[in-house]
Amino acid sequence: MLRRTKPTAEPTGEAKWHYRVRFIVRGHWRRLVNADGQPYRIWIHSHIKGPDGAPLLLGDTVSVLAR
């Protein structure tokens, strides 16, 4: 896994890290569960993520591998 599945500590409200560049996020489906426990999906449109004024990272595509 490239991403943790459990938090390492209790959330304190302050991020431990920050993005230094902007990058393009492709459109994707987000899986959610409503109050009744029924799963549903919503489409997240492509967008640019990262702080304003940071350099835009272009180039190689990065894939996230998960089991």
pLDDT one digit per residue (tens) for the chain, 67 residues: 456 666 666 666 777 778 889 988 999 999 999 999 999 999 999 999 999 999 998 877 667 777 6
Query: How many other C-beta atoms lie within 10 A of the C-beta of residue 61?
Result: 6
The reported pTM is 0.57
Is the distance from CB of 2 to CB of 64 less than 8 angstroms? Answer: yes
List the domain boundaries for the chain: 19-55
Query: Which residue type is seen at 2?
Result: L
Report the alpha-carbon distance of residue 51 to residue 6 in Å, rounded. Answer: 26
According to DSSP, the residues that pair with 38 across neighbouring strands are none
Query: CA geometry: angle at 3 spanning 28 and 61, to 5°?
Result: 50
